[in-house]
Structure 1
Amino acid sequence: MDDSPTRFLLVYGSQTGQSQAIAEEIAERCAALNIFADIHCFGKIEKEFVLESERLVVIVVSSTGDGEPPDTVCKFWRRVKRKTLPKDHFSNMRYTLLGLGDSNYGSYCKCPHMIDDRLQELGATLFMKPGFADDAEGLEVVVEPWIEALLERLCSMFDLPLPDQGEQAVKPSSERVVEPSSERAIKPSSERVVEPFSEQVVEPSSERAVEPSSERVVEPSSERAVELSSERVVESSSGRAVEPSSERVVEPSREQVVESAKSTEFFSKDTSAADAFLAETAKSNLSLTTSDEKKEIHSLESQPSKKSLKEWVDCIPVMNEAMLTTPVTPGPYVHLNYISNTSLDNNEDMPIQNNAKLPFSCSSVVQASVLNICCLTKPKSLKKTLCVELDTAGLTDYQSGDSFSILALNSEEEVSWLLDRVKVRRPHDQVELGILSDTTRKRPSIPEFINNPSTLFEIFYKSLDIRHIPKKALLKLLSNCCSVMDERLRLLYLSSRQGADLYKREIIETRRGLLDVLHAFPSCTPSVECLIENLPRLLPRAYSVASASHASTLKFAFNVMELPSLGSLTHRKGLVTGKLDKIFETSQERSSTVGIYLRSQHHFRLPSDSSLPLILIGPGTGVAPFIGFLQDREIQMRAQVKLGECLLFFGNRHEESDYLFREELSDHLSLGTLGALHVCFSRDEQRICTTGAKYVTDLLWQQSKVLANLITKHSAIIYVCGDARNMAKDVNEALTGILKVENGYTDDEVLTVMRGLKEDKRYREDVWL
């Protein structure tokens, strides 16, 4: 196969699996066009492939940590960034790149941009403009049209029929088809592929799009969906490995799509171009969608909208499927076999997720005893905030500000409900997963994080994220599992390009997942095999260390996540925060343990030079890592180490009920480890009237002269911890405005200064969504 005239190298770099999934989709669709994608992980470089010998390369890669390469890409990046490499090192290579990121974070797509820049510096030539997909907007918005453009470009290069010429672009694979149980049988029609954009070759690097000077380049990566002291919920959808053996797709006018893409430079690095393209497609009724690797998006908890399920379903149009452009879905590949009638009620001896490498891990997993849990908020607070102290059992190789992960388990109640819904009658019997003999998937394999053999209950309880947000391809699979035509067409609409805006608003933004979908569409009965094939790995939850470096006990703080009830599923909470809250409510601290490990990201630490001034900005639970900072400064002070000035800005809702770590902060203020403490409470009218500060950004402006002086004349280090979507962006804008006003900078000058702060690691963020 390596000698195939239609061969190219397809290499991916992924931390949580999203880049890999997209690369595998590309390989599947190429195979249907008789194009051979030699697919490899970046981590296998020099073992399975040698990049220098390749002539045609497609790269799919995301960012992680502080905009750094995923673990599997680190070796490659160390090699190519060597200054001793000649300028023509990759002069024989043509490539294109798809980067995945999240613009809620300051280092949006930083790693893909770095790789793209470096390859061109070493002589490589783009054969198609790179794409940069933004999970904040929905990855399908870029990923789907980019893949279609890639297919068309490859067909042109290999002199093969284009996807819309003659043969079908995607040949239906062998599929499990579920006959509807209702009287109205659903008979899907023939399928053909959406026509990709035409894309011209981009030759020399001088033709590349210029990056706007205002682009943010450093700080938290697009790969860390949940950072630190807060947890969010993301639920997931599922479906039976059922697809119609054929389904017709009617694409929009090719001329409209191509002209829109060309006129806005959709695939350039300038993210505003993507916005312009979306506006154009909206005008022409071409709603596109995408899919990206949002760091640890799976570790977030969902917050569905206040609409009732009926209201939500009613807002979804019922449209003739011939008018819808839906995603291509791969064929099934999992075969399920029960091992006699052997029951396994206790799976405690099974390895954790089959001992598969855990994301961002830099230590072994330790079962840490829960020593103490206290509530930091008063009963009338809108959010319940807990502070937990763990016995780290010798796992003390961490510093204040570092992060660690706690292994998560799904709700037993939700798992039981789900397995019953998909008609699993023997959840505790041993099963073995195999590969279907007639599958058309390339290189199919059972996920490495699933114990095999195991039981279905154990698989769904410990390994699969049943709260993950469903991708469009999964919604399409679910539509084929509906016995009621009305429900099928509504789910098809959500998976279609025409329904992109609704999908973003009602699925992504409201965090609707598998359980929401199954409750909303009662005739949808997917197979358990399809759930295993399409649900992602259940990822650990990440938190900030809120204690001193190398301490024998580890503290962290978080808000307990409350989820709406779904039918019989009541009192739902975050997977980790709910477990810890239950331990707290039942006073079982001393008899409980949690599995934890240290994470490999270490950018949010105190500077090595303790004399530098510190500006700490952490509203809500974002203040937690700064408690550890102050404890370290106290140790340094007692050792007579010279300390720089330290200012902390904290805000929350109500002073009486939400003033987190009040006593600790007061003690550090008295001790001198904290030089100034500025607080505000957004819902205390008296406080607002007397100080004029409602949010932390108001506090920053009140201290504008002090901040500008510390930043520009005394090399202060800025730390921001908290919400990425709103707070972090508002803080960035406030500091930008302060430097501009106090120092008389022009717009370009202040953007250069802010970029320099981030590149020099003087502006550090630890933020979550």
Structure 2
Amino acid sequence: MTKGMQGRFLLLYGSQTGQAKAIAEEIYENAPHHGLQPEIHCLSMTDKKFSLEKEACMVMVVSTTGDGEPPETATKFWRRLKKKTLPGDHLAHLNYAILGLGDSNYNNFCRNPKNFEQRFEELGAKQFYPSGFADDAVGLEVVVEPWIDGLWPVLRKQLGLSNSDCTSNGVMEPTENKAITQSTGDDSDSGTDVDNPYGHRKSHQDAEKRTSPDVKTQTEVATRTISNDNRTNPTTLNNDTENDKADANQTSTDSRTSSLTQDSLRTSQSEGETVVDSTQDKGPSLTCSVPPLSESGLTLPLLPPAYLEVQYHKDLVMSPDQLALQGSASYPSAQSAVSMATIVSATKLTRDDAVKTALDLELDISDAPIDYQPGDAFSIICPNPSTEVDLLIQRLGLIEQADNVFSLQLIANTKKRRATIPDYIPKTCTVRHALTHCCDIRTPMKKAVLRMLVEHTENAREKRRLQELCSKQGINDYGAFIREGCLSILDVLIAFPSCNPPLGRLLEHLPRLLPRPYSISSSPLVDPKRLHFVFNIIEFPHSYGRAMARQGVCTGWLNHKTQPIQQQVSTDVKGQDVEMNMAALSISEKIKVLIFARTNTHFRLPEDPSTPIIMIGPGTGVAPFIGFLEHREMQLNKVAENGDDTIKFAPSWLFFGCRHKERDFLYRHKLEHFVKTGALSRLHVSFSRDATNGTIAPKYVQDNLRLHSTDVLDLLLEKKAILYVCGDAKNMARNVNETLLELIGKHTGKGAYDATLILAKLREEKRYREDIWT
């Protein structure tokens, strides 16, 4: 591609888990329909494939990870960009636009793209299109779709191309010159990831004014309307007679799925669950819409072109042990090689009547090259649940081929640009292995997946509903029934029984199954070859559209694997935790898991023990602080043994909270023990659901912060303590942040703006550290 090509611009992306990359690739795929020719690169390719110093027009899609940092793929680029030696006109020749991804559940919402924006301005670059800041907390598509829609005409104008000859190709008029943004707060390139394709390419602006339910989608030439033969009259969506013809044409298709659906339905109904949405008299449901959507014209996303072909090798037999783990592809954020660890104990820390079940697992890492510190994290490589894999194989009609070897090839003359075979699927694989170990079958369906499913759905009513769910007009229904319900591919296929996509199309769209990270809750000073971690067993109850109740992919798997060795935590007469005697336990096979290290260098104890620490960790957020306190206790013991009075230990405070003192007070006896030994100076607890018998008692950790605000702020502002927050980002971490702003304002007598600056300075000095998640 030559630099002088008409309509050429540089398209860059920085992605941690795949969201930003997928959106950039969507822009790349759609650009030719607008007469544009992007050159796309990952930010990690700086100075290898591109150089900003040689570019005149650039579009960037970038996410935020950690505590407002750039993703790993963008760190090198950012490091070079922020060099203080660069002159103020270094990028004066560059015109740019930024689409940032974030999550307002975290503080410093979209901090990384905002940092890029600020730095570009400092270096003289000019912004030709307002930045978009998409919020995963409400759905990235809310901002991504209109931002991309508005980009095309502005980008054409920037490149000196006329828009007058492109209206027939679906190019929109320029949007108002204001940043498209959501709420403020930090984020991460979130969890469900990879295959995005969000965008609708709007064909005509009067789409919703049409009286007939035309369905529109962009093509390379112009918009087209799906013929009346392929759409359902909205006035007869609930009329069985209207669909008799379509139903008659799919008898053979339904026969292979009806057994699965009915068996699942009977099982779930016996447990009081509903599997598939039924048409409701009031309001829309997953499988049924109501006016005005059911009577509206629809603007559909561009159909992603097919590019993978499955070729079965009937004469080739392979055992699962012969298949490379995710094709030997590298894992994001891995700081060590993948290695095997042995689960040596599993202790239930909650009573049976607790709302959530928490498990403490101990791993033997003797054979793992992991050298950890308290506060570090590691990842566990887990499979999808076998029951869901079996159901999906059955639903796809692939029972006979489930264990046959296949290989993936690119479709000859595919229209997908830059098509590649996923590196996380082994070159020779089986259906069962791919769906169990390689692909994430739980990820909520992206609109591009729904758009693909439309093409493989025979029933007219089901086809229309899938079109609505992926359309611009159906964005509210998509959010309510797909995104908020976290519906998986299995959920959708069960809800729409005439939809039968080929395996190759699914493998194109299902993202990679990613490892699950956990905070380490132990100290290597106790035993460098052992580590502990704690987690709640995540429960997903049945709901409209969700085919069955289920547990978290990794937490459910660990719970199932450790059932034979699980031990309820108990207390002896001295009030100490009594661990299970593993030597007396007879099990036929050791429980193994694959792990790798994820070093969290910012969430560690201060090197100088004379630095005060304040720890806030309700629920399982207490995990890294158990490691902190074990470490301090061992250090205290060593100092005492050596008689060294030159080493001073500053105060250590912990704020812990849970629902009930007697049901889910995690590590209670350990924490009380740390208070006795002096490893923990102050323990402040709160129980949100316990009766107070008329007394005023703190319900949440922020209540205890207010109760002890004078001492806390003295430690934080005067004695330079480090504040650590671990746990839920959506509620707890945000509430703690707001409480600190309130208390700082009262303590200093300053207004909200100045209090915000003080808190921002604490973050900048790394004295306000978070390890939080959604």
Q: TM-score range by the shorter chain?
A: 0.7 to 0.9
Cα deviation, residue 405, structure 1: 0.6
- Provide the C-alpha distance between the structure 2 equivalents of 1:166 and 1:693, rounded to a whole number of angstroms: 62
2:550 corresponds to which residue?
572
Corresponding position of 1:634: 633
Q: Which residue pairs with 1:284 in the alignment?
A: none
Q: Confirm or deny that 1:56 pairs with 2:25.
A: no
Q: Deviations over 1:56-89 (max 9, x none)?
A: 1111111122222211111111211111112221
Q: Which residue of 2 aligns with 1:473?
A: 448
For residues 494-538 of structure 1, the C-alpha deviation after alignment (integer angstroms, 9 at most, x for no partner) is 222222223223322232222222222222222211211111111
1:695 paired residue number: 700
Pairs within 5 Å for 1:553-568: 553-564=530-541
Change (3 A) 1:545 1:209: same
User: Matched residue of 1:325: which SS?
Assistant: strand
> 2:594 maps to what in 1?
595
Deviates more, 1:367-376 or 1:478-487: 478-487
Q: 2:466 aligns with which of 491, 512, 522?
A: 491
Change beyond 3 A, Cα 1:92–1:631: same
Q: What is the CA–CA distance in structure 1 between the aligned matches of 2:301 and 2:16, rounded to whole Å?
A: 24
Partner residue in 2 for 1:683: 689
Aligned residue pairs, count = 669
Of residues 497, 501, 518 in structure 1, which corresponds to 2:493?
Answer: 518
2:328 is aligned to 355
The separation in 2 between residues aligned to 1:235 and 1:222, in whole angstroms, is 11
Question: Cα offset for 1:164?
Answer: 8.1
Q: Percent identity?
A: 40
Question: Residue in 2 aligned with 1:190?
Answer: none
* 2:753 is the counterpart of 1:748: yes
- The whole-number CA distance in structure 2 between the counterparts of 1:481 and 1:159 is 41
Residue 763 (structure 1) aligned with residue 768 (structure 2): yes
| Residues 617 and 333 of structure 1: CA distance in aligned 2, closer, same or farther (over 3 Å) | same
**1:373 offset after TM fit, Å?**
0.9
Distance in 2, matches of 1:215 and 1:430, equals 49
Worse overlay, 153-162 or 28-37: 153-162
Give the 3 Å change call, closer, same or farther, for CA 704–210 of structure 1 in structure 2: farther
| Alignment pair present for 1:653 and 2:659 | yes
Partner of 1:665: 671
Q: Secondary structure at the match of 1:625?
A: helix
- Tell me the residue number matched to 1:309: 276
| Rounded Cα–Cα distance in structure 2 between residues aligned with 1:58 and 1:637 | 54
Between 123-132 and 663-672, report the one with greater CA deviation: 123-132
Distance (whole Å) between structure 2 residues aligned to residue 26 and residue 164 of structure 1 = 20
Letter in 2 for 1:11: L
Q: Provide the residue aligned with 1:272 in structure 2.
A: none
Asked if structure 2 preserves the Cα contact closer than 8 Å seen for 1:235 and 1:469, the reply is no
* The one of 364, 369, 373 aligned to 1:395: 369
Equivalent residue, structure 1, for 2:644: none
Once residues 708 and 597 of structure 1 are traced to their aligned partners in structure 2, the CA distance between those partners, rounded to angstroms, is 38
Structure 1 counterpart SS, 2:359? strand
Q: What residue number does 2:617 align with?
A: 618
Change (3 A) 1:70 1:109: same
Per the alignment, residue 43 of structure 2 pairs with 42
C-alpha contact (below 8 Å) 2:61/2:100 kept by paired residues: yes
Instruction: Select the structure with the greater relative contact order (CA < 8 A; seq sep ≥ 6).
Output: 1
Alignment of 1:70-109 (within 5 A): 70-109=71-110
Q: Partners of 2:17 and 2:546 in 1: how far apart?
A: 32
Structure 1 residue 571 displacement after superposition: 6.8
* 1:236–1:156 Cα change, 3 Å: closer
- Is residue 339–residue 595 contact of structure 2 (8 Å, CA) maintained in 1? yes
Aligned-partner SS, 2:321: coil
Q: Per the alignment, in what secondary structure is the counterpart of residue 653 of structure 2?
A: strand
Deviation by residue 1:707-760 (Cα, 9 ceiling, x = unmatched): 122222111211111111111111111121122223322111111111111121
* CA distance in 2 between partners of 1:611 and 1:238 (Å): 48
**AA in 2 matched with 1:390:** L
- The farther-off stretch of 129-138 and 156-165 is 156-165
The SS at the match of 1:658 is coil
Check 1:462–1:721 CA distance in 2 against 1; reply closer, same or farther (3 A cut). Answer: same
Moved more, 156-165 or 63-72: 156-165
Q: CA deviation at 1:249?
A: 5.4
The answer (yes or no) to whether the contact 1:718–1:763 under 8 Å persists in 2 is: yes
Structure 2 unaligned blocks of 5 or more: 210-271, 279-284, 566-586, 640-646
Q: Separation in 2 of the partners of 1:163 and 1:62?
A: 34
Deviates more, 1:331-340 or 1:131-140: 331-340
- Offset at 1:659? 1.0
Report the alpha carbon displacement of residue 250 of structure 1 after superposing the two structures with TM: 4.9
Q: Which moved more, 1:535-544 or 1:306-315?
A: 306-315
CA separation in 1, counterparts of 2:619 and 2:165? 54
User: Is there any run of 5+ residues in structure 1 with no aligned partner, and where?
Assistant: 170-192, 201-207, 226-233, 240-245, 256-304
TM-score (norm 2): 0.81
> 2:348 corresponds to which residue?
375
Q: TM-score, normalised by structure 1?
A: 0.82
Task: For 1:68 and 1:732, locate their aligned partners in 2 and report how far apart those are by CA, in whole Å.
Answer: 19
* Equivalent residues in 2 for 1:252-331, closer than 5 Å: 252=206, 309-310=276-277, 312-313=285-286, 316-317=289-290, 319-320=293-294, 323-331=297-305
Could you tell me which amino acid in structure 1 is paired with residue 702 of structure 2? T
- 1:112 corresponds to which residue? 113
What secondary structure sits across from 2:150 in the alignment? helix
Q: 1:448-463 residue pairs with structure 2 within 5 A?
A: 448-463=423-438
Using the alignment, how far apart are the partners of 1:152 and 1:744 within structure 2? 50
Partner Cα distance (1:397, 1:321) in 2? 61
The answer on whether the counterparts of 1:368 and 1:390 sit within 8 Å (CA) in structure 2 is yes
Amino acid at match of 1:582: H
CA separation of 1:438 and 1:196: change in aligned 2, threshold 3 A? farther
Rounded Cα–Cα distance in structure 2 between residues aligned with 1:160 and 1:145: 21
In structure 2, relative to structure 1, the CA distance for the partners of 1:11 and 1:254 (3 Å cut) is: farther
CA 1:43–1:163: 2 relative to 1, 3 Å: farther
Whole-angstrom distance in 2 between the partners of 1:501 and 1:718: 40
